[in-house]
């Protein structure tokens, strides 16, 4: 009876810990990556999330999204060559399809001769730049309305002054400055 009980306990423990004893057939997921220039091409380097060291355990085909198109990239020791020809300097974004925790990476590819120089663009700039233009436009609009209001008030309070004599007075004032 004791032997049967021990056998059942051992079988249950072995069944629950099978992953610990056996090798996993799952591919290691990409935790972080960077885009670098490599011999007139681009290369994606899978890195460790905590450091900038290449994760050499990444081997095999991994699906990436490049500018919204699914592109399978073949990794060897954590590096994959992007076999995509770009006609000139352009924006490109990459996202590994298998790992939704990694955010989209936006790059500007500056083409210099036959090679590319990837410049990483923070995604926050996509929000900061339009908001800055909106704020600048808002203040310019306020200044334009203020200027129009001052001009209208000036003409309203100077009812005896015609437009021609107004410009003549301004011209005489400007000559007096020089």
Q: Which helix (H) or strand (E) holds 170?
A: helix 163-177
pLDDT score of 16 = 61
Q: How many domains does the chain have?
A: 2
Give residue-wise pLDDT tens across range 63-104. 888 887 888 888 888 888 888 777 888 888 888 776 666 667
Closest CA to 92 of 107, 82, 80: 107
Last residue of a domain, one of 101, 123, 145: 123
How many secondary structure helices (H) and strands (E) does the chain include?
A: 4, 8
Last residue of a domain, one of 98, 123, 148: 123
Are residues 78 and 46 both part of a single domain? yes
Are residues 91 and 143 both part of a single domain? no
Are residues 114 and 158 both part of a single domain? no
pLDDT score of 130 = 92
- Predicted model pTM: 0.59
pLDDT score of 96 = 79
Are residues 107 and 140 both part of a single domain? no
pLDDT score of 6 = 64
Containing structural domain, residue 165: 126-177
Average pLDDT rounded to a whole number, residues 53-69: 81
Give residue-wise pLDDT tens across range 28-37. 677 777 778 8
Give residue-wise pLDDT tens across range 137-177. 999 999 999 999 888 887 777 767 677 777 888 888 889 88
Query: In the numeric block, which tokens belong to residue 54?
Result: 């290449």
Distance CA 110, CA 90 (A): 7
Are residues 42 and 90 both part of a single domain? yes
Are residues 71 and 116 both part of a single domain? yes
Are residues 165 and 107 both part of a single domain? no
Domain-located, residue 151: yes
Query: In the numeric block, which tokens belong to residue 84?
Result: 């995509």
Whether the per-residue pLDDT at 50 is higher than 90: the answer is: no
Are residues 115 and 130 both part of a single domain? no
pLDDT interval class at 1 (50, 70, 90):
low
């Amino acid at each position: 009876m004791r032997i049967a009980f021990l056998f059942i306990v051992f079988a249950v423990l072995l069944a629950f810990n099978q992953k610990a004893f056996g090798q996993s057939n799952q591919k290691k997921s990409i935790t972080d990556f960077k885009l670098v220039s490599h011999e007139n091409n681009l290369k994606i380097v899978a890195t460790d999330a905590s450091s900038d060291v290449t994760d050499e355990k990444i081997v095999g085909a991994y699906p990436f999204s490049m500018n919204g198109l699914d592109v399978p990239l073949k990794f060897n020791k954590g590096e994959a060559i992007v076999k995509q020809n770009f006609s000139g300097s352009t924006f490109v974004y990459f996202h590994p399809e298998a790992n939704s925790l990694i955010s989209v990476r936006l790059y500007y590819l500056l083409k210099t001769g036959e090679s590319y120089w990837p410049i990483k663009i923070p995604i926050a700039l996509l929000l900061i730049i339009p908001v800055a233009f909106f704020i600048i436009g808002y203040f310019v609009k306020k200044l334009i309305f203020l200027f129009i209001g001052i001009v209208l008030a000036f003409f309203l309070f100077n009812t005896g002054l015609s437009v021609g004599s107004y410009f003549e007075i301004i011209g005489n004032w400007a000559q007096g400055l020089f």
